[in-house]
Amino acid sequence: MVTIKTAEEIALMRKANQIVRDTLLAVEEKIKAGMTTAQVDRIVHDYITKCGATPSFLGYEGYPASACVSIDEEVVHGIPDAERRIEEGQIVSVDVGSIYKGYNGDAARTFAIGEISAEKRRLIDVTKQSFFEGVKVLKAGVRLGDLGHAIQSYVEANGFSVVRALCGHGIGTDMHEDPEVLNFGKPGHGLRLKAGMTIAIEPMVNAGTYQVYMRDNGWTVVTADGRPSAHYENTVAITEDGVEILSL
Ligand code: MF3
Ligand code: CO
């Protein structure tokens, strides 16, 4: 069921998402080569709890941490590890969720560690811009296929691919609500959006093939060809004439 949020509910979601945004800014400030992915998780956990919110990922379907920290060929759901050190030249996607007074925030960014290759730089930039290409077409009355198409065509015009096996989602009192928000699609198809719907839009973009597989840990999704992947996500509220990006 796709729900329409009231202004009061959107105000709480704004707060949950501002906490997520600020958490990611704190990570951006501190993340560097030599740090373990568990240390990144610690920053996230401490920041969210200090804000009076709850890390939504911790314990979600048994997930063991507050953040997903995914390096290079890891697309999403990298599990923080006290033995795993971040290295110069890597790209690191950090995905964070918080619950504030019963409402969810969800966002992700991909960070460059020191000097990175030109291809990785372009991958990060194209992934972020693909989100904004999607946002440009959004307002009440637009269909999810129009959004997916806008994201996909921008990514493919830049020579990269969108992951098909994972998608964005409605969000509210649950982190994952209907509808599924695909990063590919056909114009004029899919659910028609209404003002007050809140969705997390999260393009996952691969340098090579869109194909992915899951590691034996049951969580971490990696590219099939081992080439890098980037992730960019924000929670948005649909309005009559556009969107409000709640996590920016
Ligand atoms: N933030 C992810 C999403 O956008 C969910 C993380 S899965 C969890 O859908 F288990 F880590 F919570
Ligand atoms: Co999400």
- Answer whether 219 contacts ligand 1 (Cβ < 6 A): no
Check pocket membership of 197 for ligand 1, CB cut-off 6 A.
no
Work out the mean pLDDT of the chain and round it to a whole number: 98
Picking from 137, 134, 136, 139, the residue whose alpha carbon sits closest to that of residue 155 is 134
- pLDDT for res 165: 98
For residue 52, report the phi and psi dihedrals to the nearest 5 degrees. Answer: 80, 20
Name the DSSP letter for residue 47.
H
**Domains of the chain, residue spans:** 7-245
* Alpha helix ranges (H) inside 105-197: 118-137, 144-157
Q: What is the mean pLDDT of residues 30-48?
A: 98
**Confidence (pLDDT) at 162:** 98
Q: Do 68 and 78 contact (CB within 8 A), yes or no?
A: yes
When pLDDT is averaged across residues 121-135 and rounded to a whole number, the result is 99
Q: Which of 237, 242, 208, 239 is nearest to 225 (CA)?
A: 208
* pLDDT bucket at 153, cuts 50 / 70 / 90: very high
pTM equals: 0.98
Residue closest via CA to ligand 1's atom 7 equals 57
Check pocket membership of 184 for ligand 1, CB cut-off 6 A.
no
Nearest CA to ligand 1 atom 11: 57
Q: Whose CA is nearest to atom 6 of ligand 1?
A: 57
Query: Class assignment of domain 7-245?
Result: alpha beta
Q: Would you say the CB of residue 9 lies under 6 angstroms from ligand 1?
A: no
- 219 alpha carbon, closest ligand: 1
Find out whether 175 and 235 touch, Cβ atoms under 8 Å.
no
Evaluate: CB of 133 within 6 angstroms of ligand 1: no
Q: How far is the CA of 93 from the centre of ligand 2 (A)?
A: 13
Q: Is 177 in the pocket of ligand 1 (CB under 6 A)?
A: no
Give the model confidence (pLDDT) of 10-25 as tens digits: 999 999 999 999 999 9
CB atoms within 10 A of CB 120: 21
Which amino acid residue places its CA nearest to atom 5 of ligand 1?
A: 57
105 lines ligand 1 (CB under 6 A): no
Q: Tell me the pLDDT band of 48, cut-offs 50, 70 and 90.
A: very high
What percent of the chain lies above the pLDDT cut of 90? 100
Name the residue type at position 51: C
